[in-house]
Amino acid sequence: MDLNQIIEAVNALSDENSPPKQITTWVNDAIARINIELGANFPFMDLAKATESPAFPEKYHYTVLLPFATARIKQVDSSQFEYSDLFMEFEANLTKMKSTYTVPDEFKDKTEQEITQVILADRLEEEDPDVI
Whether 13 has a pLDDT exceeding 60, the answer reads yes
Mean pLDDT of 89-104: 95
Q: Is residue 42 part of a domain?
A: yes
- Tell me whether residue 92 is in a domain: yes
Number of independent structural domains in the chain: 1
Give a yes or no: residue 32 inside a domain.
yes
- Lowest mean pLDDT: which of 71-75, 78-82, 94-98, 128-132? 128-132
Answer whether residue 124 is part of any domain: no
> pLDDT tens digit string along 16-54?
899 999 999 999 999 999 999 999 999 999 999 999 999
Query: What was the pLDDT predicted at 118?
Result: 57
Residue 131 lies in a domain: no
Query: Is residue 126, in this structure, part of any structural domain at all?
Result: no
89, with CB counted inside 10 A (0-12, 13-18, 19+), is: middle
CB 34 within 8 A of CB 42: yes
Q: Let me know if residue 84 belongs to a domain.
A: yes
**Do the domain assignments include residue 113?**
no
Per the CB < 8 A criterion, the answer to whether 107 and 55 are in contact is yes
Domain span holding position 87: 3-103
